[in-house]
Each structure stands twice: as structure tokens, then as C-alpha cells.
Structure 1
Amino acid sequence: MTEVQSGLAETVIASPDLAEIVILDVGHGNCAILRDGDRCTIVDARSGVLLLSELQRMGIKHIEHVVLSHADEDHIQGALQLLPHQSFSIGHFWANSDSAKDSDLWDELLALVDHLDTCGRLQANMAISTSQRDKLSFGRMGVSVLHPSPYEIGHGPGRASGARPRLTTNGLSVVLRVSIDDEPVALLPGDIDAAGLRRMLSRQTDATAHTLVYPHHGGGNGSASHARFVQDLASATRPELVIFSMGRDRFKNPSPDVVAEFGSSFPNVRIACTQLSSHCHSGALPAAGGSHLGNRSAAGLAEGKCCAGTLTLRVEDGGIYVHPEPGPHAAWIQGNVQAPMCSVIAAFPIQRSPN
């Protein structure tokens, strides 16, 4: 079995001039690599093995920042392998304290971060909010924190009482807007829910971006209405591409109601799922791989679970380039998928015209 067949990337020589955002197929979870040449920032870390493989493929030696949006397992588990790894130096670790989260995994991670901070291996920052402004930016990468505010993380998750807003761990997810060469490329909202989104939008936040990585893997949003949440989030983001970072075998994401609302209210948005949803295809899986996927690491490769697989975003020639490209991806869907939910989407745009 080759590395690609096992889900791991082949080793290639990294380009020192390349700036890109990689949305890694980690199954059910999130992980993004913001890369400028041989420097990068990691946002969430579901899978340690795949993340380490992709970083080594890129030739990364130094990680500027590791940012965890919130304390759920499917966003933090891979950090236990990444942070102490001898192949990388790490500048800063960022997360928000969460007394409502009492998992053994979160406790183990906090103990590790404390040890590495004490040893001088990284600088631990246990508060990240809109006050960070440009502290996470580096090179050609602009990284803005849109949520939560210092007021919100000061209260932390919990029940509403008096002046205290009711925000859950999900509602306090760190939301990042990432630009390349000042072009807003991606919104990474963690698992922000309806209450958190209302708080963020109440600040008149500019959340526009070419690509939206949809919260909570296309599942629940903490309210009764998928349609209202989609409308509020997509109206604020105005995306041309929506990515569902999801696994085929858990929770049956994305919700058909979510995809249908995009088809009804935002029909020119391209939909891309990292793995093939069971809502779209319930029979035997297509043959592993597909010419549209390329050679990025992806959790779904080995068993043929990839749909879009790992996605790459770059700014090229005045527009935003996305891989897998929409034409080959759509052709693979049409030839291999029984009942694709994204068939309700009329167009597969890829370029944003220069302003």
C-alpha cells in the first residue's frame, strides 16, 4: 500500500513562495493549515497522524501559532501529538479556558501545554479574543479574530444570569477570518452556534470571505431553525464555496436541511464535503481515490470515503483558486454518487473577480 492509498501524502519538495490554506480531511472534525512558505499556523487539530504527514510533506519546520477554537475532542485530539513533536518548533499556543469542559482529553492537553510552556518549548496563551487583532498574522497571511470578545470570554460558558450572556462552549468558538495578500479567503468559525453568531454579528463584524468552513460539520446549530442559521451566516459571509468538514461514519452530516437551504436561498454557492455523506450515497463506496483529489493527505482516501477530500485555497492571478477544481469534482460526483445533495446547487463558481 502506498502512502497515498493509506491516506498519507507523498513526500514532495516544498515551495518557499507558496501561500495557501489547506482544509484537511480529518473525518469528523476540523483542521486547517495556514501556510506561507516554510511557516504556518494550525487552526484546530483533529488528527495528529494526518496533520504531521502533511506538515512534513510541506517541509514545515516552524509553526507560528497553534489555535484551538474550543475544547471539543474533534478539534483538539491531534494537538497531543503535534505540540511535543521534535520535528517542529512552535511559537504560540492559543485557546480559551473552559471550566465547563471536564473531559480527560482536555485535562491531558492542558497539562501538556503547561509543561511545554514551563520548558520554554512554546508560549501558552489561555485567552484569545477580538483584542488579539493582528497578533496571529504572519507573512502574507492576515488572521483576524472575529469572535469571541473579551467580555464574552471573561464570562465564559454557562447559564445566563443577570448581565451574563448564555453562551455554550460551541457559542464561544474562536472565529477566524483569513486573508492572503489582503484578499479575504476563508472564514473558520469552529462550531459557533446560533447564540454565538448573534453576538458576533451584533458587533457589525465584517465576516465576508470567499470560503466558509461550515460550523459543526453541517449539523446542529443550537437553535430550532437550520434555515435561519444558514441565512444569517451566509448573508454575513457571502461565500462562493461552503466546505463541510465531516466524516462519513458519524452523525450523518451535513444535514439535508442545511444543504437544501443553500440550494434555495444561495443557489450559486458551491458545496464541497470532505467525505462522501451517507445522505448522498448509501451503497458500496466508489473505488478509492479519484483524479480530482490530488496528492494531499486525507482521512477518507484509503477506504474510498473522500468526496472533495482535502481542499486547498490560494490567491492566483487576481482570483481565488480552489482544489479540487469544480469541474472535475462535479464530474466525479455525477459519475459515482447515487443521489448527491449538492445537485440542488446550480453553479460551481471558483474565481472571485478582482475589486
Structure 2
Amino acid sequence: MDVGHGNCAIVRDGLRSAIVDIPRGKPVVSALANNKCHQIEHLLLSHPDEDHIGGAARLLADPDVSIANFWCNPSAIQDTDTYLDLLEQAALREDERRTRYRSSLNVGTREDLNFDRVAIEVLHPDVRLAGVGQASRKHKLGEVPSNRMSAVLRVSLAGKPAVLLAADIDDRGFDSIVSRGVDMEAPVLVFPHHGGSAKGGDDRAFARRVCEQVKPRLVIFSLGRNKYRNPLPEVLAGVREAAPAAHIACTQISRNCHSRDSIPANAAHFSSKWPSAGMGKGASCAGTVVVRATDNGDISYDPSQSRHSQFVIQNIDVPRCLSVTP
């Protein structure tokens, strides 16, 4: 979903749904109501950073929302008010036996996340890292920052891999997945860090390695127009090196592509059913992206590459998603 700076994915089959990450704001609540997503089987939070969990406490506090399971790996060193409020709401729902709290969002979680024709695999963290959790530099095994603990999920629809949700995985966390020989291929990749730096050294090499493993047809950067200048040019260059034919789409218009404030408030390629946070103020680019399992067993997505490309050619000053110079 286009939620501005942050991450959120809604996975649905019929009326049953799962939500992966939820920042502050109204788009997710509106999307759930507009599309009659009455049964939330799983609320999954990849890691406890504000832009991934900011709206979770409010959702848990809503007495009209049914949430069967709440998944969030524990963090002994995260003490923000947002995180502590979230745990308080989770405890209240657990005490009332309305939502089951699950603190094991790791590779040991297998079929527990599946429902109907949806399968959700946890590719990271592995058992070793999950056993340690987020840790300070004083730990014998060294520092484990929040991003390294990010849960990396692969969503399959009707038996076919569809989307890889990479959260904010860093280079060492990514190395851990590769070293275990995990299959990460998916036609759609939501790129880690909103296209920002993985803070592990060479961001171009990191982007190239991620795309070499995932082999995406579509690379999504979930970003807010007024937060940072993502995606970084070196990240785009790495994506192009590994996936030269891939469709690159930002949920909102990057300031690296368009610095002027005069941008269109509406466009025909935006989803009519699933809201985009930036649409009303002319900040959305691809907006919310809808990925579907088609009747012939393939995976499709909307907006299509042709419709999105037409929009950026007509409206964006320097559409870097169409032409990236290494």
C-alpha cells in the first residue's frame, strides 16, 4: 500500500486477510473497511521500528476489528512509547482471549501463517538469530540491530510465489538467508529500507545481490515523498544491473525524480478500490499496487508497467525508474 514513508501489505483471499506492518495513518483502516476485510487472521510486524508498527496499537484497540493472531518478535532493548503502547494493547486483547500473541515470527513458523489459497513463508530470522533477538554491542555475539532482526516474508497466492516483503533487512541479515540456500524468488519485490542505505557498506552491490536472488519482474519502493530522498541512485543502479528488464515503481514520487510541487493530484492508473495516501495531495506515483493470482495460474499486478510508465513520462521531470545510468 501507498502509506507514505513506511511499509504495509494486505494479503487477502475472500474475506480473510493478513496484514504485514502498519504505520500511522488512515489508508489501511479505510482499505480494510472499503474492501470488507472483516476477518484478520494474522497481524504481522516485521520489526519494531515506528514506520512499520506505528498504527498497530490503534488497530488492536479497535473493538470492531477481529484479529485472530498478532505476531511480533520480542525486543528487550526497544523502549519507545509506540512499542510499549503496542504491547499494552496486545496484552489486553490476549487477556480477553480475543487475539493470540505469537512471539515466534521466524523460520520455525511454517504452515501456521497459511489460510485458504494464501501461503506466507518466513525466510528470516533463522533460529540462531531469533534465539538471541535484538542485542546491544555488549552481547557475546555482537550487536544485533533492529533491522537485522527484520522478518523477511514470501507470500504465495494459489500455490505460486507472488511477493517478497524484505522489510528493512540489512546486508548481514541478507547474507544469513543466502548462506542457508533459501529460495527467495518472487515476481514482485518490496525493496528493503524504502530504497535507502542498508548501512553495511556498498549499497549498489547490496541492491544487485538482492535482485539476483529474488529475480523480480516488479521492484517496489515504498516511500514518502517528503521523507528522505529515496530510492538512492546507487540502489537503482544495482537493481538495473541484476534485473535490467524489471519494472521499477515507487509508491510516491521521489524528489530525486521530481523536485517541483506542481504534480497531478489524480491519475487514471491509481486503484479505485485500494486508497493511496499521497493521491489527494499529488504525491503518489505508482500509488498502492495490487498483486493478484490470475485464473490461468499466473501472477499479475496493477498498475501495469505500460500504464505507470505513461504516467511518469507525461508528468515527472526526470523519471529515473525508466532510465538509470550506472
Indicate whether the TM-score tops 0.5: yes
- 2-side partners of 1:137 and 1:259: how far apart? 33
2:318 to 339, 344, 349: 339
Q: Which runs of 5+ in 2 are unaligned?
A: none
The answer to whether 1:300 aligns with 2:273 is no
The answer to whether 1:330 aligns with 2:305 is no
Which whole-Å deviations, capped at 9, do the CAs of 1:202-228 have from their partners, x for residues lacking one? 111111101110011000102110122
TM-score normalized with structure 1 length: 0.88
The answer to whether 1:67 aligns with 2:67 is no
Which residue identity lines up with residue 278 of structure 1 in the other structure? R
What secondary structure is seen at the aligned counterpart in 1 of 2:101? strand
What is the aligned partner in structure 1 of residue 245 from structure 2? 268
Aligned length, in residue pairs: 323
- 2-side partners of 1:48 and 1:92: how far apart? 22
Alignment of 1:61-210 (within 5 A): 61-159=38-136, 164=141, 166-210=143-187
What is the aligned partner in structure 2 of residue 15 from structure 1? none
Residues 32 and 203 of structure 1: is their aligned pair in 2 closer, same or farther, counting only changes over 3 Å? same
Residues 345 and 185 of structure 1: is their aligned pair in 2 closer, same or farther, counting only changes over 3 Å? farther
The answer to whether 1:220 aligns with 2:194 is no
CA contact (8 A) 2:42 2:67 kept: yes
Shift of 1:232: 1.6
Which residue identity lines up with residue 336 of structure 1 in the other structure? N
Q: Which runs of 5+ in 1 are unaligned?
A: 1-23, 347-355
Deviates more, 1:320-329 or 1:164-173: 164-173
1:232 to 204, 209, 213: 209
Shift of 1:245: 0.3
Shift of 1:119: 1.0
The answer to whether 1:313 aligns with 2:260 is no
Shift of 1:32: 0.3
What secondary structure is seen at the aligned counterpart in 1 of 2:69? strand
Which whole-Å deviations, capped at 9, do the CAs of 1:238-257 have from their partners, x for residues lacking one? 11110000000011111111
Deviates more, 1:42-51 or 1:162-171: 162-171
CA contact (8 A) 1:143 1:178 kept: yes
CA contact (8 A) 2:3 2:25 kept: no
Which residue identity lines up with residue 314 of structure 2 in the other structure? G
- 2-side partners of 1:224 and 1:87: how far apart? 46
Alignment of 1:44-63 (within 5 A): 44-63=21-40
- 2-side partners of 1:219 and 1:210: how far apart? 21
% of aligned pairs identical?
37
What is the aligned partner in structure 2 of residue 283 from structure 1? 260
CA contact (8 A) 1:253 1:277 kept: yes
Which residue identity lines up with residue 130 of structure 1 in the other structure? V
CA contact (8 A) 1:243 1:271 kept: yes
Q: CA RMSD in A?
A: 1.6
Which residue identity lines up with residue 149 of structure 2 in the other structure? L
What secondary structure is seen at the aligned counterpart in 2 of 1:83? helix
Deviates more, 1:243-252 or 1:290-299: 290-299
Shift of 1:175: 0.7
What secondary structure is seen at the aligned counterpart in 2 of 1:154? helix
CA contact (8 A) 2:216 2:246 kept: yes
What secondary structure is seen at the aligned counterpart in 1 of 2:113? coil
Shift of 1:111: 1.1
Which residue identity lines up with residue 330 of structure 1 in the other structure? S
CA contact (8 A) 2:215 2:243 kept: no
Shift of 1:160: 6.0
Shift of 1:159: 4.5
